[in-house]
Each structure stands twice: as structure tokens, then as C-alpha cells.
Structure 1
Amino acid sequence: MGTKPRRATTRSRATRAWASAPPREPQAPVRPLPVPDPPARRPASRRRRPGRAPGRLRPASRGRGSSRRSTRRSGTPRRPAAGGFQRPAGGFAGRPGGGGRGRGPGGGTAGAFGRGGGKSKSRKSKRTKRAEFELREAPSLGGVSVPRGDGSTVVRLRRGASISDFADKIDASPGNLVTVLFHLGEMATATESLDEATFEVLGTELGYKIQVVSPEDEDRELLEGFDIDLDQELEDEDDDVLEIRPPVVTVMGHVDHGKTRLLDAIRNANVIEGEAGGITQHIGAYQVWAPHEGYERAITFIDTPGHEAFTAMRARGAQVTDIAILVVAADDGIMPQTVEALNHAQAANVPIVVAVNKVDKEGANPAKVRQQLTEYGLVAEEYGGDVMFVDVSALTGKGVNDLLEAVLLTADAGLDLRSNPNKDARGVAIEARLDKGRGAVATVLIQSGTLRVGDAIVAGTAYGRVRAMMDENGDAVHEAYPSRPVQVQGLSSVPGAGDTFLVTEEDRTARQIAEKREAVERNAQLAKARKRISLEDFTRALEEGKVESLNLIIKGDVSGAVEALEESLMKIEVDDSVQLRIIHRGVGAVTESDVNLATIDNAIIIGFNVRPDPKARARAAREGVDIRFYSVIYSALEEIESSLTGMLKPEFEEVQSGVAEIREVFRSSKFGNIAGVIVRSGTITRNAKARVIRDGVVVGDSLAIESLRRFKDDVSEVRTDFEAGIGLGKFNDIQIGDEIETIEMKEKPRV
């Protein structure tokens, strides 16, 4: 009987044919094929495993499909597949079981699907070794590793550099440096500009010596990137091309000692009426002519303000000057600004001519001035020194010509005033302002070369072409030679007082230099902080709600006044809980953009000799922005200091209000112990805070005068030398001879 075939839907053709065929007759059993004997095993001393190279003692790791698993547990060898063969030593190249390029010379890797296994645990990767080396060589602070210096490694950073800049210098991760700085108590981001003190803290921790590049070196390196080397230009100049130039004289001294009036007498023009409060607000540069040895000689004068707020402007005046005239009033003598001006001149190694002014005034004592200045190293010629003293009167004009003669004699005696006029101009911007009709106007002093109309110029962060030049009298000038002060028009913006300027070959070069300078200045301004608060102090103050901030926007008519006001504001001493932030400063009228910024940051706008335009005034009224206007810097400083003081949390101090001596102790079952006292000083008031003092030691504190009586009457206070009865509530530890001291808390005035 045939076998019923199965469903052939998924079976092969051979299977279906077998299923449909008739059954066969039974046959004799088939004899199995002979199995070859396994190869003879070597002796134990010479035995090696399949896939292993000779001479290797370490056994290979095994995985699935290894040669040891190729035999059954019973010891019977496997039969080879039909039509196949068995490879000695097991497997093909690269497959489990060895025999090829697996792991090791013999390829004995243990990996799934014929893939090589991982490296042995006894061997480390290069990345692991490098990480361990860096971790061993670097400090670990906050769980991060940072490359470490040896304590003498110098890292040069620009002003306003960020953590990212520092990280690039030492080949570190900015994020790791942020973590290190956080654990040092400073909170900053990777791109935030930091000040020099913060970098010094970080550098000390990591073993680096931080060197912040000075503004002069920074600008020199910037110009070298444009193939401009001013120092090399001076060295390459021959004496044949140098010509004599007029001396540049700076008038310095104490406020109200008559500097501007003296300059007025020299120029024979009245320039003092335009100054608010009779105090010079801007630097003015003028050139006058004076007879000397039969020739008319030119002298350039720079009038620096005498108020201490303009220290930076006066310092710049000393940098560009050849001779300093120190004006000292004969009646007042040496004053603080006199010493300050003297220090600036001596630091710049500038010869000094002393003008003793107001000699016509009652009480004038020129000899006293000479004696006082001797203490500062200025010895008059009549005392055997080398400093020329000239008695003058700016009011009457006495001694003015003698002063000019002394200036020229000093210049000829010890100074080599020569420069090369036959090259592109170099110089300094003395002052700058924004004129409504002419745009940015800068007063510049040419130090070398010749400035011409049409030259491409860059002054600080401003650039442009010279459209017009005028002298101090308003007359047009086409060429300006060394030591000549002129007003320049055509700049894109207002340069800062003291910024250097130079002429370039192309407008593009001037623009690129200005843009790079602007970026450097912006980073430096970001790094300039009012007072940096440590992380712990900031967190504590923030939690207690003690952090207050006064935001200011400063606008002025000239850049020097704006900078001087900013420097003065930064010197205001207030508590650490109040921060003064100057979020913007600029030259020109208060604009609508300034009002918008003040609205966003809740700032106050300070206008110094400027006014807002109509749109700005309307928007300020609509947004409620406070705009303050000043013409004298004294008023601005006083009001802002008062505002800062008012923002401080009130501080209280303990004040003694009265002292009473206990003469008798009365015991009451209802009120406890009652002290019979006599008031020794002050006034004892009911409900006042009190303490009990015995032999100079406080035995009871934080008490209160709960009851106060004179005889049988309740009273509110008892004055000195009167007797009274005092009840201190539940406090009964009182004895005869004790003192009861009453205190009150009064607000401590700010100083």
C-alpha cells in the first residue's frame, strides 16, 4: 500500500517526486564508511594546539566554534560532511578556530560570526594612555583636568580676553576652565570678557604667569598686521630729513589757580567766558607767536583742565607735550592737583617751568611757593637749581613775555625738537565732539609728517578722509605741519581724547584698522567692571535681596568729558551691595536709541552739555525715562553719589539712651522684683530696650522696661537725677548696685 503524499505547496520538486514514487523492496543494511583515525598526539612537552604559532606560551582565547569544541564530549570525532573535507588545525583564515589573520599570529580570536574579538584587557589603547598621562600631569579641580604650567610659563593675553582665548593659549577645553573658575569662586561664561585680576587668580591656580598686553603694545601689534611699524619709521629716518618744529607746551596746575586766564593773556583773547563755572571742561590747543632773539617763534599750547576728574585727560596732555608750565597761585601755594600735575609731568620726563601766578594779589608769597616746590625736587635757579620760576599776573599781563622767553630757552637748552615733515602725518587727537552741522570734529596735534586735505585718516576707532581743516581761529588750513593743532572734519565717528591718528594709503586700510580697534576696545570695555562680587557674596546677597544696581547712560559734548565723568563715577565709594553700571557712553545729543536702551535696562541718562532731540524727549516723557542735564561735573558727581547712597539698605547702630542705678529691690508677688532706681544719665523710657549690668558684666540682655513709675503714678519717661521704679517683666535677677542701661537703635548715617 502506497504512502499518502503530503501537500506539495512548499516542498521541493525532488521531495514531491519521492512522495509519489511506489515503495521499494527492503535492501541489505548499508555498511558505514570507515572513519580515519585521529592524528597521533604529540608528547606533552612538544604538544601545541591547532592554530597556534610555535614558541608561544600564552594560550589563545576561545569562543564559539573554537577547535576544542570540534570533538564530542564522549571523545568520538565528528564525521565530516558528505562531499567535504576537514581542514587540519581547524577553520579558514579569519574564522573562529584560528588558521588565519585573526587575533595574534595564529588568528585565534573569539568573536561572533567570524569577527575578531576585542583587545586583551592587559593591553591599553593609545587614547587611554594619553588620557591617563594628561590626568596625571594636570590638576584636578572640580572633577576636570586642565594642562598645568610650571609656575614660570608666561601667557600673554589681550585686554578683555575671554576664557576661550586663555584656553587656546594653553590647549585646554574652555568648559573645563569655566568649571575651574567656578570652584575658585568666580562665575563666568566661556566667551565673557574677564578682567586682569580674574585671569591672575586662574593663572596662579594652574601654574601660569598672566601678562595682559598694554594698550600701546596691543595697538602696535595691530598696526604691524598692516605692515605699519611706527617705531621702525623713526629709527630709519636720517638727520638730513629732520627739521626744527615748535615746542608743545602744556599748562597744568590746581583748579582756579588761573591757568585759563594765563592762556587768555598769552593769546590776547577771552576764552574763559565760555567755560561753565569758570572751570575748563575741554582740552584746548592753540598756537601763538613770540619774539625770541630777533625771530618770531611759534609755540603750541595745550590747556588741560585742572579739576581732578580730568586726570586721564591731563595725563594724555603730558604724553604729547614737550614742556610743562606748572601754574601755582602765590596766595594758595601747593594744592592736591598741583602735586598730581607735577607727578604727571615728572613721570613723562618733561621739563617744567613754574609760573607763580597772582603775584599782584594781597597775601601773595612767591618765595613760599619756591620753598614748597623744593620738597618735590623743583629747585629754582636762584637757589642753585635748574628750574626756571617766573612771577606772572594773568590779570594784568605782568611777566607773560618773560614766561614765553623761559619756555623757548628751556626748549633750546635741553630738547632736540625736530621731526620729518616729508611723510604721512602721525599725531594725537586732543579732543573731539559731534557738531550738528559738520558731523564729527576732532582737534588733532600733528607730531610728525604733514596732514593735507583729502588724506585717508584713522584716529582711534574713527576713520575717513579729511574734508576740511581749520585752525583755532576758524580759518581754513590746507596743510598742517608738525606741532600744529588743527580741527579735522570728515571722520566717521568721534575719536577718543588721546587716540593716536595716522594717514594710510587707502580708505580700506583705514577702515579695517578702525574696525579692529573697535573690537579690541569693545572687549576691554566689557572686561571693565564696577566691582566684581565673588560667587559666595553674590549668591548670599541675591538670596537676601540686597543686590541693587544703578544703570547709567552718559552722553557728552566731547569724548574727553565723557571719559572723565565715567572715571570719576567709578571712584565713588559705596557698599558692595550696590553696583554702578555704565551700560553706554557716547558723544552727541541724547537720541531716541538712548531712550530705548534706558527703557529696557531701567537706566538714567546723564547729559553733559548736551540736550535730547525732539523725538528722544517725547519718548522719554512717554516711557518715564529720567534724563539729567549738567554743565559742571561737580553737580553730576554729587547727585549720583546721593542716589547711590539712597539705594543702600539702612544700617542701624546701638545708642545708649539712659543709665539708672538700682538703689533698692522691692519684691512683689504680682509683678515680681521691682527695681528702685535713680537715673544717672540720659532718659529712661517705657518700653525701651534694656540690659542689666553687674560689675561691668551683662547679666541680662534683650529686656524691656515693661513698667515705669514715680511713686504711684505711671509715667512714660524719667530724666536724669530723678528716682523711679522699674519693672523688667519676668526678669528678677537684680541686686542693689546693678545698672539698668536702656538703648535704642538709630539709623547710621552714610559717610
Structure 2
Amino acid sequence: MSQKQRQRRARGKSPRQYEEAPNGSGRATGPTTTLTGPVVLGSVVTVGELAEAIGVSAVEVIKSLIRRGIMASINQQIDYETAAAVAAEFGVETEERVPEVIQQASAAIEHQLREGAGDPEAQPRPPVVTIMGHVDHGKTKLLDAIRETNVAEGEAGGITQHIGAYQVEVQGRKITFLDTPGHEAFTAMRARGAQVTDIAVLVVAADDGVMPQTKEAISHAKAANVPIIVAINKIDLPSANPMRVKQQLAEVGVVPEEFGGDVPVVEISAKQRLGIEDLLEMILLVADLMELKANPNRPAIGVIIEAKVDQTRGPVATALIQSGTLQLRDVVVVGGTWGRIRAMFDDRGRRVRRAGPSTPVEILGLLEVPEAGDLLQVVDDEKTARDLAEERARQRRAETFSEMRVVKLDELHAGIEAGETRELRIVLKADVQGSLEAIQNALAKLNEETESVGITVVHSGTGAISESDIMLAATTGAIVIGFNVRPDVAARRAADASGVDVRYYNVIYHLLDDIRAALSGLLTPETREVTDGYAEVRETFRLPNRTIVAGLYVLSGKALRNSRVRVLRNGTVIHDGVVASLRRFKEDVREVAAGYECGLAIEGFNDVQAGDQIEFYHVEEVPRGA
């Protein structure tokens, strides 16, 4: 008998306890604990605490987390959902213990917002309107005309530089406008659970018509289930053609009322102040149909529109009150921070003492800068505020180490069988309009064949996959499909951060086969693309043998001699091939790191141009079910 066996026997434990895993996997998990009921865990728990609670070693818990793509140490905090999934792997049931301060705060918010118009003391509130549309179509000029102030000329190039919230009075009634730098901010707030907009005004230039960003704005508004009012701007120009704009809108699913649809259309000129009154009346009419109400006699609940640090005033946040009334000296919790309201200012910079429902105000007094989309809630005292803020901050830190709950094509069938998935949502981008229409038609036919789950194209368009596409997919639970296009740098970063599933194809049949296989549970990837690096072509050179060499600057990762390369022009793949030579100065090299320059020749391809993006990648095999 070995010394280790004698030591185990002396402690009254057999070696078998150390060799068999409680879940039957055969992995060593350390001493087991007999559990008679569910293990109670907090909303946030460290890896070590979880291991002790479920009776397995911390090493096994860490291995389980790594298999889920979460790198955590023994003292790292994880959220309850992740902890419950790990415990289930070891056959242990769990139960969440939510701190009382969180329970009470969440219940108060849910009750107050859910009751809404049903509250006996509820009163009509101003509608909250977001201005959306393509760049240069006159969004800020329209708001400028409504407010009768000069916003646009005070901004660089006439482009909105920040999110502003403004309130105007029309016929004795108020309307709140959110002036955003684009629909990205609109969706970013939705991604954080903040649904603040009641009505979307879509600005379309009469001389320009429906443009790519117009279509994106429509997709974002529809995904948020927000009613749309179309404002056809610039009707004073000689080249204006409002009827053509209406026809284009109908073609993309926004059918004007005069065509038998349900979307109001108002023709305006922000520059000449034409049709502005008609637009405001239409906003009030749509708001009346929605019966927007809130109770102003309760503690305030609101959403942070923007926040920053002012060198003289400290953390400054713009809040839009949704329910109740915010008053000076109120103690508030905002996301993971808190404070007492020291001062409030309206959109004109005037000091105010109270802010009711649908009123935007700039507030001072928070200890830290909150994030856009954070919920603002008035609480009874500073102790409650401090406890609630600390608990939420802990949860937020834990969630950053947890998996994103996003849809993966590989896991779609499992979700269908579990009853979690009834719809496959897709953000579709292609290189040309012809390909886009062909894919949409093919998906529509596939949708007719499918009974278990519906296929919905949330947004489609041509050109590179943008950050806006990734944010829309993250918010709506969609996958992104690129046909002969790739993501730009910002989109790639957003996809990595959010975990959105991005798929690339260059053959329509492969795309359809994958979706059909995913729906039937047969999709199991056998190969996987791994991106090694990205570079930008700064200059091109012609060698005596007529070969074109691209002078590259490596932006990220590495340029590898043995990688395959894609040449991207404006986000569209124009060539996919192999490296003929990779040089730094006059020497052949195997790799070039980010931040350095090099020369690249691509086998059989000489059409490379300055400004092109080069993607270095390789394909690796992965085991089935990985």
C-alpha cells in the first residue's frame, strides 16, 4: 500500500471518491458533498465560493468556465446564470438568492412602469420623439426649425456631435425631442434595456430619396416597435420629387397612408420653415392615439441619455424622466453609482427644481459618471442608495466575465427543441443589390418550407458590415450574414465584444444549406476561419517582372507568410488568394507584427490599390460538436 493510500484510509476516505466525478464524466473533481436540496447562491458569487457550495474543486469549476469561453481566477466573481450552468454540469440544482435591496428596487420599478396608463393618478405626458435618417438629409436643421434656435451651425460641419434632449411647446402641449448622432445611439440604449422613444420621425430628403442609412433607420425603428412618421424634407429644391420618395418608402415596407398604408407622411422644408406646424400636429395626433400617460406624483424613474465629466462641475448626466417627478435634493441610484441631486438644468441651461414625466434635465450630484441607458431611480435614503449601487456594480462586473446570451447558428436547433427559439432573425449584408434580392427571395421560400421556426430578415443592405449592423443584431438576437462582404474595424470590435455570430459566404447555396441544416439540427461546423491580422495598403509598386507589390501597414494581429489573404475594397471582397511573398525592407520574413510596414505580393493578383484592406487568415479543423 502506497503512502497516499495509507493517508486516505486514515482519513476514512477511499480512493474511489477522488476518481469518480459526481456527474459521471470520469473527470476527477475532488471530494464530493452529498446535497439534499438546491444550493442557494447569490446574484454574484466568486469561483471559490461556487466550488465550495457545490462540493467540487475550484480547478474543475475553472475548467468548466473555460469550456464556456470564460477565463476566471478563483477569486473572480461570476453572475448567477453562469454559476447555475456550471453547477448543473456537476448535477447540482441551484436557487438564486437576490439581495433584498435589489428585490425591492426592481419590484418598485417594474410595478411603476407596468402600471403606467392604468394608474388611477396617471396624467397625459408629452411624447418622446427621436429624429432619425440619412446623413445630410436635414435632421438637425429640422430640430433647429422646431426650436427656433441655431443648433446646427454651432456644431462641427453641421453634424450632431452628441445626444441632446430638447422640449418644445406646441398648442399649449409639450413634445420632447431626442437629437441623436444616428440610429446607433438609439439602438445602443435599447441594447441596455432602455426603451425611451415613443415615436420616430424619419427624415428623408426629397431630392435624394431613400438611402442606405434611411433603410437602417427603418430597420432599427421597426425592431423597437416604434411608430414612424416620415418627414420628406427639402421640398423647396427644384430637384425635389416627393412622390418618388413615397414610392421608394413603399418598396422598403414603409407604406404611406395615401398608398393605403399606416405611415403618416408630411412634406416639409426645414430651411424655409414650411410644413413644420403640420409635422408637429401629426406628432400630437399619433401621441393621442397611443394614450401616453404617467403618474407625476411618485418618486422619479428615468433613463440616462448621455453623461460626461465636466472639469468644474464633476459628473454631469442628461436624464429623461419616464415616470414620477425628480426634485432637488432627491437621493438617486443610477446603474452602479448614486448621489444626491445638487442642481438641475433644462435644455436651455436654466435652473429648475422639478422635472416631471417625459422631461429631459441635466443633473449634478452623482459620485461617478453613469453609462447611457442606465436607469435612474429615486430611493429613500443614502444608505439604501449606497447598498443598491454597490450590489449593481458587483453584478455588472460579474456580467462582463459571463457569456453573452446571443443566438449562435450552431446552437439554433437545441434552442428550438428546448422551446426557447421560435424565430431566426438575420441581419443580411451583400456586395450588390442583385445578390441581396436573390438571397432574400431564397430565404422567403425557405421560410415557407419551415414549420418549427420562422426566418425574419431584420435588416438588409449592401456594403461592408457596420457597427450599426452588429448592434442591431445584438439587440434583436439576430445573426449577421455577409455575402461577399466583411466587417469594418469598428464592427469587428463590436462583434468580438458582444459575441454576435457573424457568418460569411460567397455561394448562395452554401448559405441556404447552412440555415436549413441549422433548423433541422444537422449543422456541425468542421472547419473554422481564424483571422491572423489586418493591414492597409498605403502604396503600390511595380516590379520589373510586372508584379504589383503592395506596401502595407499592419493595423492589428500579424501579417503571416503562410496565411491566405483577402483583398477588401470598401468592405467588399474582390480577391481571395495566397501570399506570393512577404518582405520587410529587402528580406523575406515569416511574419510582420502590428504597427510595422512590409511589402506583399499576392499570387495571381495585381489589381491591388492604395486604400485596400488586406485580411490575413487561415482555416483550421475543429472536432464535431465543438
Q: TM-score, normalising length from structure 1?
A: 0.49
Distance in 1, matches of 2:40 and 2:243, equals 54
Say whether residues 1:251 and 2:135 are aligned partners.
Answer: no
Q: Kindly tell me: are residues 202 and 286 of structure 1, through their superposed partners in 2, closer, same or farther at Cα, counting changes over 3 Å?
A: same
Question: How far apart, in 2, do the equivalents of 1:176 and 1:316 lie?
Answer: 33
- Please give the secondary structure, in 2, of the residue aligned with 1:140: coil
2:465 alignment partner in structure 1: none
Separation of aligned partners in 2, 1:501 and 1:185: 33
- Aligned residue among 266, 277, 286 for 2:146: 266
1:373 counterpart SS class:
helix
Q: Is 1:649 matched with 2:576?
A: no
Aligned to 1:407: 283
Report matched runs for 1:23-172 at 5 Å: 128=14, 131=17, 135=21, 138-141=24-27, 163-164=47-48, 167=51, 170-172=54-56
Amino acid at match of 2:202: L
Q: For residue 377 of structure 1, what is the amino acid of its counterpart? A: G
1:358: which partner in 2? 234
Query: Is 1:457 equivalent to 2:340 in the alignment?
Result: no
1:203-352 matches, within 5 Å, as 223-224=102-103, 228-234=107-113, 239-291=119-171, 296-306=172-182, 308=184, 311-313=187-189, 319-352=195-228
Distance 2:107 2:15 in 1: 48
**Aligned match of 2:518:** none
Matched residues in 2 for 1:195 and 1:447: separation? 29
Matched residue type, 1:470: F
Q: Evaluate the alpha carbon distance shift between residue 373 and residue 158 of structure 1 in structure 2; reply closer, same or farther with a 3 A threshold.
A: farther
Report the counterpart of residue 596 of structure 1 in structure 2. none
Structure 1 residues 450, 128: closer, same or farther in 2, change over 3 A?
A: same
How big is the shift at 1:201?
9.7
State how far apart, in whole Å, the 1-side matches of 2:244 and 2:84 are: 47
User: 1:169 Cα deviation (Å)?
Assistant: 6.9
Q: 1:419 aligns with which of 286, 290, 294?
A: 294
Paired with 2:333 and 2:370, the residues of 1 have a C-alpha distance of 9
- C-alpha change, 1:315 and 1:408, in structure 2 (3 Å) is farther
Contact 1:461-1:514 within 8 A present in 2 as well: yes
Task: Find the counterpart in structure 2 of residue 750 from structure 1.
Answer: 614
C-alpha change, 1:476 and 1:367, in structure 2 (3 Å) is same
SS in 2 for 1:320: coil
1:571 aligns with 2:499: no
- Distance verdict in 2 for CA 1:388–1:462, change over 3 Å: same
Q: Which has the larger radius of gyration?
A: 1
Structure 1 segment 420-459 matched on structure 2, within 5 A = 420-459=295-334
User: Judging changes above 3 Å, is the alpha-carbon distance between structure 1 residues 184 and 329 closer, same or farther for their aligned structure 2 residues?
Assistant: closer
Q: Which secondary structure does the structure 2 equivalent of 1:241 belong to? A: coil
Structure 2 contact 532–560 (Cα < 8 Å) conserved = no
User: Which digits, 9 at most, give the CA deviation of each residue in 1:50-90, with x for residues without a partner?
Assistant: xxxxxxxxxxxxxxxxxxxxxxxxxxxxxxxxxxxxxxxxx
> Relative to structure 2, which stretch is displaced further, 271-280 or 567-576?
567-576
Q: Is the 8 A contact 1:223 1:513 kept in 2?
A: yes
The corresponding residue for 1:491 is: 366
Partner of 1:190: 74
- Share of identical aligned residues, percent? 45
Q: Which amino acid aligns with 1:344?
A: H
Cα separation, 1, equivalents of 2:250 and 2:42: 43
Aligned pair in 2 of structure 1 residues 258, 206: CA closer, same or farther (>3 Å)? farther
Q: How far apart, in 2, do the equivalents of 1:396 and 1:435 lie?
A: 37
Shift, 1:331, TM fit: 3.0
Write the letter of the residue equivalent to 1:177.
V
Q: Distance in 2 between matches of 1:404 and 1:271?
A: 19
Pairs aligned (count): 434
Q: Is residue 69–residue 403 contact of structure 2 (8 Å, CA) maintained in 1?
A: no
Q: 1:239 to 1:179 in 2, by over 3 A?
A: closer
Q: In the aligned structure 2, how far is the partner of 1:351 from the partner of 1:508?
A: 41
Q: Aligned partners of 1:322, 1:274: CA distance in 2, in Å?
A: 28
Structure 1 distance, partners of 2:53, 2:208, is 55
2:342 to 455, 458, 467: 467
Q: Go from structure 1 to structure 2 and tell me whether the alpha carbon gap of 1:399 and 1:520 turns closer, same or farther (over 3 Å shift).
A: same
Most deviating of 164-173 and 484-493: 164-173
Rounded to whole Å, the distance in 1 between the matches of 2:349 and 2:212 is 36
Q: Deviations over 1:282-337 (max 9, x none)?
A: 1110000112xxxx111011111127587515767981011111112223333333
Contact 2:304/2:319 (CA < 8 Å) preserved in 1?
A: yes
Greater relative contact order (CA < 8 Å, ≥ 6 in sequence)? 2
CA contact (8 A) 2:207 2:239 kept: yes
Name the amino acid aligned to 1:346. K
Structure 2 CA distance for partners of 1:284 and 1:168, relative to 1, 3 Å: farther
3-state SS, counterpart of residue 559 of structure 2: coil
Distance 1:514 1:221 in 2: 13
Whole-angstrom distance in 1 between the partners of 2:29 and 2:368: 49
Deviation at 1:278, TM superposition (A): 2.7
C-alpha distance in structure 2 between counterparts of 1:136 and 1:209, whole Å: 13
- Separation in 2, partners of 1:162, 1:497: 28
**Corresponding residue for residue 621 of structure 1:** none
- Name the counterpart of 1:557: none
Structure 2 distance, partners of 1:308, 1:183, is 33
Contact 1:304–1:314, Cα closer than 8 Å, also in 2 = no
Asked whether the 8 Å contact 2:122–2:296 carries over to 1, the reply is: yes
Distance across 2 between alignment mates of 1:183 and 1:322? 42
What is the CA-CA distance between 1:411 and the residue it aligns to? 0.9
Instruction: Between 189-198 and 463-472, report the one with greater CA deviation.
Output: 189-198
Distance, in Å, in 2 between the alignment partners of 1:256 and 1:156 is 53
* Distance in 2 separating the partners of 1:343 and 1:745: 38
Q: Secondary structure, in 3 states, of the residue corresponding to 1:446?
A: strand
Contact 1:355 1:390 in 2 (8 A): yes
Partner of 2:568: none
**Counterpart of 1:385?**
261
8 A contact 1:318–1:345 mirrored in 2: no
Preserved CA contact (<8 Å) 2:255 2:263: yes
> Could you say which structure has the higher strand fraction?
2
Aligned-residue RMSD, C-alpha: 4.8
Give how far 1:427 is off.
Answer: 0.8
How far 1:750 sits from its partner (Å)? Answer: 1.2
Contact 1:256 1:306 in 2 (8 A): no
What SS is found at the alignment partner of 1:649?
Answer: strand
> Deviations along 1:640-680, whole A, 9 cap, x unmatched?
xx97626523547899xxxxxxxxxxxxxxxxxxxxxxxxx
- Per the alignment, in what secondary structure is the counterpart of residue 464 of structure 1? strand
8 Å contact kept, 1:193–1:523? yes
Tell me what 2:511 maps to.
none
Q: For the residues of structure 2 that align with 1:482 and 1:749, how far apart are their CA atoms?
A: 49
> Do the aligned partners of 1:254 and 1:307 also contact (CA within 8 Å) in 2?
no
Give the Cα–Cα distance (whole angstroms) in 2 for the partners of residues 226 and 649 of structure 1. Answer: 52
In the aligned structure 2, how far is the partner of 1:654 from the partner of 1:387?
49
Secondary structure of 2:304 counterpart: strand
Contact 1:246 1:300 in 2 (8 A): yes
Once residues 200 and 223 of structure 1 are traced to their aligned partners in structure 2, the CA distance between those partners, rounded to angstroms, is: 19
Match of 2:383 in 1: 508
Distance 1:143 1:249, change over 3 A: closer
Structure 2 partner of 1:715: none
Q: Aligned letter for 2:196?
A: V
Match of 2:539 in 1: none
Point out where structure 2 has 5 or more consecutive residues left out of the alignment. 1-5, 405-487, 497-528, 535-551, 566-579, 582-602, 616-626
Alpha carbons of structure 1 residues 404 and 154: separation in structure 2 relative to 1, 3 Å: farther
> Where in structure 1 are there 5+ consecutive unaligned residues?
1-117, 530-564, 580-641, 656-687, 690-742
